[in-house]
Amino acid sequence: EISSCEGGHEASPPEDVPTQPPVLTKMVVEPKPHGESPNEDQR
């Protein structure tokens, strides 16, 4: 039980942590540069 919990917990936090920063950065970078014409670029 301890081994399974440790492996699952350890893999969850590290993956979520590095995935959160990139996602936020991508979202912030996309709207920033596409802030002038986000609809035109997306469409």
Q: What is the pLDDT of residue 6?
A: 55
Q: Which two tokens mark 21?
A: 């920063």
pTM: 0.13
Write the pLDDT tens digit of every residue in 10-25: 555 555 555 556 556 6
Give the residue carrying structure tokens 């996309």.
30
| DSSP-assigned letters across all residues of the chain | -HHHHHHHHHHHHHHHHHHHHHHHHHHHHTTTGGGSSHHHHH-
Structural domain containing residue 27: 2-42
Q: For residue 30, which of 17, 42, 15 has the smallest C-alpha distance? A: 42
Number of domain units in the chain: 1
